[in-house]
């Protein structure tokens, strides 16, 4: 889905398949921009449906983490969230405006 000249978004790309994105942070709200995201590796149709279903829930959990300061816009600190059979890693990288994420299968056997 990406070419060799396309940037890779998100945190980690050593796990495949994975979905990586850079979300825009506005206070405790996160905004998804499709041109700042990508799929890496091959997802099964079932796993893509799970990703579609779980993504808004991960967004809500990350927004809650911003409100509770578990995610801090000024300091890099990675958090890990799990839902269904997916793991979401998130970190602001101290960027004051972005949250970088990678979502991948909790088990390589999916």
Task: Tell which CATH classification among 3.30.470.10, 2.102.10.10, 3.40.50.300, 3.30.450.20 matches the domain 18-105.
Answer: 3.30.450.20
- Predicted confidence (pLDDT) at residue 69 exceeds the cutoff of 60: yes
Q: Give pLDDT, residue 9.
A: 78
Q: Which backbone phi and psi does 92 adopt, to 5 degrees?
A: -80, -20
Q: What is the 3-state secondary structure (H, E, C) of the chain?
A: CCCCCCCCCCCCCCCCCEEEEEEEEECCEEECCHHHEEEECCCCHHHHHHHHHHHHHHHHHHHHHHHCCCCECCECCCEEEEECCEEEEEECCCCCCEEEEEEEECCCCC
Cβ-contact 28, 66 below 8 angstroms: yes
Q: What band does 104 get if pLDDT is binned at 50, 70 and 90?
A: very high
Q: Give pLDDT, residue 6.
A: 58
Task: Name residue 101's beta-bridge partners.
Answer: 21, 90
Token pair 């994105």: residue: 21
Q: What band does 70 get if pLDDT is binned at 50, 70 and 90?
A: very high
Separation CA 60–CA 15 (nearest Å): 24
Nearest to 41 by CA among 101, 1, 100, 84: 1
pLDDT tens profile 14-64: 788 999 999 999 989 999 999 999 999 999 999 999 999 999 999 999 999
CA angle 91, 54, 106 (to 5 degrees): 70
- Predicted confidence (pLDDT) at residue 12 exceeds the cutoff of 60: yes
Domain-wise residue ranges, the chain? 18-105
Q: Which residue has better confidence, 47 or 1?
A: 47
């Amino acid at each position: 889905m990406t070419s060799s000249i396309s940037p890779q978004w998100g945190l980690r790309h050593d796990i495949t398949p994975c979905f990586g994105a850079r979300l825009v942070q506005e206070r405790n709200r996160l905004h998804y921009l499709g041109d700042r995201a990508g799929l890496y590796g091959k997802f099964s149709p079932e796993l893509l449906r799970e990703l579609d279903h779980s993504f808004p829930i991960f967004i809500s959990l990350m927004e809650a983490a911003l409100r509770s300061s578990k995610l801090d816009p000024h300091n890099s600190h990675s958090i890990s969230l799990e839902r269904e059979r997916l793991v979401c890693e998130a970190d602001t990288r101290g960027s004051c405006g972005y949250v970088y994420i990678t979502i991948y299968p909790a088990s390589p056997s999916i």
